[in-house]
Amino acid sequence: MVLYYIKKIKLSIISRYYRYKFSLNAVAGICYGPIDPLFTFKHTVCLAFYPSHVHLGDQLFHLPMVHMLISQGISVHILGPTPLAFLFEAMGCQIRSNGQSSPGSVIVTKWDCLSEVIHEPGGYFLGLNYRRMTGPGRIGDLISNAVQSVLSPWVAVKKMEFPGIDSYLGMTEMPARSWPPGPIVVVNNCVNSNRVNARLKQRSFWTRVCQLKHNATVLFIGEHSNTPLPAWVDQDYRGQLSFPELFRLCHTHASQITLVTFDTVIAHIGVLCGVSAVHVVCKSNKQLVSQRFVPFVSIADHPSMQSVQLY
């Protein structure tokens, strides 16, 4: 954990240096501009998902933007390995390795990844600081607005309502398991950021689980762990479920599932799949999380918009 924050600080310092070197614009949580002075846009946007820095939940924030661009004939490439590749491919993205961005592409990533992006041939940088971006709407909307604005000198991109992922999941081959009938409480207490805060919130987390577990099958998911679980946990799936399996579980059994988690990728999956209830224990800044991140986008007439409870 300490090493993670040391690396984060180092990347921030280096990225700040390159921001001034390339005279990039920086305003309201957005840093943008050409790295190649001869840059010409060639109708491609690359999402750079550096696994050490762009968490899986952050990657899902970009789904509305991906839908908007591909629907209007702009190619979207995903740079870097991601266990969510199956979903992005279903939406029409190409998956590429880091360092293989197309010349003439706008590279979208977190703002402090500029030191990585300068090695890409794409030529134009759009860096995002999710917490500092301003404007009405949730983070998925803010990202779409930022991309729309940056692309405006070359192409007029129309704002589009995000329809959710139901149609994309229907196009995806996902492994099937048998799940119990009746109510299911799916529990995840794994986090990859703000771990200290998450530890301080464990009592609140377990209080929520205990309030919801009665007359339900309790499934524990998340990263592999040998930490003993309470005796009332019915099935331990830690380290066993792939993301396609998790999406299938939440999507096909949505009406049965109550999800309890921290504000992580698991919460976003529950919202996208429209499970009956999503109980989220916020690691920090509950107000910001509720206003911007969970849900990360408004989906018209989607049941999940009414199912989220934050603590």
Domain boundaries of the chain, sorted by first residue: 2-162, 184-310
The dihedral over CA atoms of 33, 36, 42, 47, expressed in degrees to the nearest 10, equals -60
Percent of the chain predicted with pLDDT > 70: 95
pLDDT of 305 strictly over 60: no
For residues 194 and 152, the model is more confident at: 152
pLDDT of 45 strictly over 60: yes
CB 185 within 8 A of CB 108: no
Chain segment 157-204, per-residue pLDDT in tens: 999 999 899 889 877 776 678 899 999 999 999 887 777 778 888 888
CATH number of 184-310: 3.40.50
Give the Cα separation of 300 and 304 in Å (integer): 10
Q: What is the mean pLDDT of residues 239-255?
A: 93
CB 129 within 8 A of CB 111: yes
